[in-house]
Amino acid sequence: MQDFLILSRIKIVVINMAAQIPEQLIDEIRQANDVVDVIGEYVSLKKRGRNYFGLCPFHGEKTASFSVTQEKQIFHCFGCGKGGNVFTFLMEKEGFTFQQAVAHLAQKSGHNLPEQFTDQSNNYRNKNDQVSLQAHELLVKFYHHIFSHAKEAKEARDYMKKRGLSEETIKLFQIGFSPEANEVTPQFLEKKEFNLTELASVGLLARSEQNQMYDRMRGRVIFPIRNHLAKTVGFGGRSINDLEPKYLNSPESALFQKGKMLFNFDLARSEIKSSGQAILFEGYMDVIAAYQAGIKNGVASLGTSVTEQQAALIKRYADTVIVSFDGDESGINASYKAAKILKKAGCVVRIATLPDGLDPDSFIKKYDGKRFNDEVIEASSTYMTFIMSYHKRAYNLKIEADQMAYIKEIATEIAHLKSALDRDHYIRELVKMFDLSFDAILEEVDQLREIQGRTRNNKVSTSHTRKHNLQSRTKQLLPAYHNAEIKLLAYMLNDRAIAERIKHTIGAAFNIEKHKIIVTYLYAFFEDGHEANISQFIERLDDEELRKDVIEIAMEPITGDVSEEAISDYIRIIKAEQNDKVVLRDLIEQQKKAEQKKDYLTAAQIGMEIMRIQKELKDKS
Ligand SMILES: [Zn+2]
């Protein structure tokens, strides 16, 4: 009866998941999109042994416990337990439905889907988001058209030409111009049958005191801001006359969360990943000018200082970040702030400095991309060198008290450095600067490290490391039959012949309840004519917990050609547990009957036997 219930559940799942897109097409799309490539767009993966590892995109961590198995086409996080295949990864990461995830990957691998699945804005679940996205897309074209052709945009065109942007770059970044007159943009959108009140609610239009809709970007050069899926979700507007403020961004909305996004991230991502390096600029024009000059790993924050989320985003793709802000006072202060946050996120930080108060855009225009690369990017200073000169500005180093305060400040920074060689190097720098004894500073640094270490260790013990230890500890304590079931399941998932053999010997009679459910799904999967394929199999599981369990089992290390004996051993252990349990149940029943008959001697004898078996069971586990 129980098995029947489980089977009927499976039927429903299969219908839900694959009712509309043909299963064969789903298989093709899954096969065409390698899990390492797809996840590699979100996580910087490094090969270690047979698997790839990276920082988990689902929970905050500083050491990589997120693994991707190319061979099995699945991912699994040893930290938070998340796991799945390419589709479930996108469902988790992008909030897609199953069909949206399939449609997204179909587009990448050039598969044609039935029409109802191909509408891109369908990728966004929320109706408001879909409308907002369509309006943004239309406005990008509208602004770009006005920029390219309208008389009133001549000044804007001249300005961009003067800044050295080519036609090609202007087209690539879809630079636009928003008409001066209040009513033009709302009228355009109205003609396209948008509801203006709806657009005002997502921040695309503004409402004046006289209750008139207007375009808050009016009279500005427009920089479309795309999300990581290359969809425009906001605009940056720059005034080229005296309009205040000089820079204006679209207001925050569900789709446009400035603290989580980076300008140009979609175009820069692959270059950042392959070079292992990102350049963080202050302005959109810097990013675009650098891009045109062949420096394609540049991004910028969106009108605010860098956030921890942005730093974490960069860190997932690159180890090194070069901060290249304006050469003026406020640029240097902003560099300091950004460097601190990036460092905290675990990035190797370098700081580029520009001469004569230039900004990257004007440097590239004055010289060229090559000199920018050679003299600014390549010549950027290390984090510590920058910090040392930055703090100098706050102290009068001719005064002894200031000297001491400065040395303390720098010693604290040195103490944070992980490499002993680096610490040694910067201690020597301080020694040189102030004619101090090396040992005195070393002692100071060591003391500071001890204090930092204490607070750090306290933090570590409450993080997932402890949970992780706990997990592996409980695993060791699992009874033998439990471990045998996990191993056997791992082989069954990997080999159809083994699964067939188990089906005829044990069937679904595993001891652990969830294992019973898993094998029932698995037998049905093979009965449908599939070959062993974990990535494909987990699509049948609608329950996330169950999927996690299967992935975790699939990550068990197993040998390629397991012996008959090993499999028989697992079967024996699993069966013995059941036999013992059956015997035990019988004995308890007999004991009860003997007591009812007031046959206390027999009851006592049976009691002894029960205790003996229980002890045996305990020893076995
Ligand atoms: Zn995780």
Q: How far is the CA of 548 from the centre of ligand 1 (A)?
A: 12
Mean pLDDT in residue range 415-434 = 91
What residues pair up with 263 in beta bridges, in sequence order? 300
Q: How far is the CA of 569 from the centre of ligand 1 (A)?
A: 34
Contacts of 597 (CB under 8 A, 6+ apart): none
Q: Tell whether the model's pLDDT for residue 113 goes beyond 60.
A: yes
> In this predicted structure, what is the pLDDT of residue 456?
61
Q: Are 266 and 284 in contact (CB under 8 A)?
A: no
Q: How far is the CA of 70 from the centre of ligand 1 (A)?
A: 18
- What string of DSSP letters covers 365-377? HHS-HHHIIIIII
- What string of DSSP letters covers 174-212? T-EE--SSTTHHHHHHHHTT--HHHHHHTTSSEE-TTS-
Q: How far is the CA of 498 from the centre of ligand 1 (A)?
A: 31
Element (H, E) at 355: none
478-615 falls under which CATH superfamily? Answer: DNAb Helicase; Chain A (1.10.860.10)
Q: Provide the edge-to-edge strand list for the sheet that holds 74-77.
A: 46-48, 51-54, 66-69, 74-77, 83-84
> In this predicted structure, what is the pLDDT of residue 457?
56
> In this predicted structure, what is the pLDDT of residue 122?
54
Q: How far is the CA of 94 from the centre of ligand 1 (A)?
A: 16
| Percent with pLDDT over 70 in the chain | 91
Q: Tell whether the model's pLDDT for residue 374 goes beyond 50.
A: yes
- Could you tell me the pTM of the whole model? 0.71
Q: Are 43 and 273 in contact (CB under 8 A)?
A: no
> In this predicted structure, what is the pLDDT of residue 371?
95
Residue 570 C-alpha from the chain's centroid: 38
Q: Provide the edge-to-edge strand list for the sheet that holds 221-226.
A: 176-177, 221-226, 232-238, 247-249
> In this predicted structure, what is the pLDDT of residue 465?
44
Q: Are 577 and 112 in contact (CB under 8 A)?
A: no
Q: pLDDT, tens digit, for every residue of 286-297?
A: 999 999 999 999
Q: Are 411 and 444 in contact (CB under 8 A)?
A: yes
Mean pLDDT in residue range 183-190 = 94
CA–CA gap between residue 393 and residue 397 (Å, rounded) = 9
Range in 123-132, 411-420, 434-443, 485-494 the model is least confident about = 123-132
Residues found in the chain: 621
Q: How far is the CA of 242 from the centre of ligand 1 (A)?
A: 49
> In this predicted structure, what is the pLDDT of residue 582?
79
Q: How far is the CA of 325 from the centre of ligand 1 (A)?
A: 33
> In this predicted structure, what is the pLDDT of residue 125?
60
Mean pLDDT in residue range 415-431 = 91
Rounded to 10 degrees, the C-alpha dihedral 70/483/460/312 comes to 20
> In this predicted structure, what is the pLDDT of residue 19?
46
What is the SS3 assignment for 72-101? CCEEEECCCCCEECHHHHHHHHHCCCHHHH
Q: Tell whether the model's pLDDT for residue 394 goes beyond 90.
A: no
CA–CA gap between residue 223 and residue 225 (Å, rounded) = 6
> In this predicted structure, what is the pLDDT of residue 115?
72
Q: How far is the CA of 57 from the centre of ligand 1 (A)?
A: 7
Mean pLDDT in residue range 573-590 = 84
The mean of the pLDDT values for the chain is 87
CA–CA gap between residue 303 and residue 464 (Å, rounded) = 34
* 15-29, 101-115, 512-526: range with highest mean pLDDT: 512-526
The pair phi, psi for residue 53, each rounded to 5°, is: -125, 150
> In this predicted structure, what is the pLDDT of residue 263?
97
> In this predicted structure, what is the pLDDT of residue 453?
78
Q: How far is the CA of 68 from the centre of ligand 1 (A)?
A: 12
Q: Is residue 53 helix, strand or coil?
A: strand
Range in 236-240, 452-456, 490-494, 507-511 the model is least confident about = 452-456
CATH of segment(s) 260-381: 3.40.1360.10
Q: How far is the CA of 133 from the centre of ligand 1 (A)?
A: 30
Q: How far is the CA of 61 from the centre of ligand 1 (A)?
A: 8
Structure token pair of residue 526: 């093979």
Q: For domain 2-123, give the fold.
A: DNA Primase; Chain A (3.90.580)
Q: How far is the CA of 547 from the centre of ligand 1 (A)?
A: 15
Q: How far is the CA of 567 from the centre of ligand 1 (A)?
A: 32
Task: Give the start-to-end residue ranges of the domains of the chain.
Answer: 2-123, 127-254, 260-381, 395-462, 478-615
> In this predicted structure, what is the pLDDT of residue 460?
46
CA–CA gap between residue 586 and residue 455 (Å, rounded) = 57
Q: How far is the CA of 59 from the centre of ligand 1 (A)?
A: 5
> In this predicted structure, what is the pLDDT of residue 96?
84
Q: How far is the CA of 312 from the centre of ligand 1 (A)?
A: 14
Q: How far is the CA of 98 from the centre of ligand 1 (A)?
A: 21
Q: How far is the CA of 78 from the centre of ligand 1 (A)?
A: 7
- The band of 560, judged by pLDDT with boundaries at 50, 70 and 90, is confident
Only one residue has tokens 């003067």, namely: 162
Only one residue has tokens 């069909």, namely: 99
57 DSSP assignment: S
Q: How far is the CA of 55 from the centre of ligand 1 (A)?
A: 8
Q: How far is the CA of 79 from the centre of ligand 1 (A)?
A: 5
Q: Are 176 and 222 in contact (CB under 8 A)?
A: yes
> In this predicted structure, what is the pLDDT of residue 150?
96
Q: pLDDT, tens digit, for every residue of 430-455?
A: 999 888 899 999 999 999 999 887 66
Q: How far is the CA of 586 from the centre of ligand 1 (A)?
A: 45
42 DSSP assignment: T
CATH class of 127-254: alpha beta
- 2-123 against 478-615: fold identical: no
Helix, strand, coil % in the chain, rounded to nearest 5: 60, 10, 30
Q: How far is the CA of 375 from the centre of ligand 1 (A)?
A: 40
Contacts of 484 (CB under 8 A, 6+ apart): 569, 570, 573, 574
Q: How far is the CA of 26 from the centre of ligand 1 (A)?
A: 26
Q: Tell whether the model's pLDDT for residue 370 goes beyond 90.
A: yes
Q: Tell whether the model's pLDDT for residue 474 goes beyond 60.
A: no
Q: Tell whether the model's pLDDT for residue 171 goes beyond 90.
A: yes
Q: How far is the CA of 58 from the centre of ligand 1 (A)?
A: 5
- Tell me how many degrees the CA angle 306-303-226 measures, rounded to the nearest 5: 95
- What string of DSSP letters covers 458-496? HHHHHSHHHHHHHHHHHHHTS-HHHHHHHHHHHHHHH-H
Q: How far is the CA of 564 from the centre of ligand 1 (A)?
A: 36
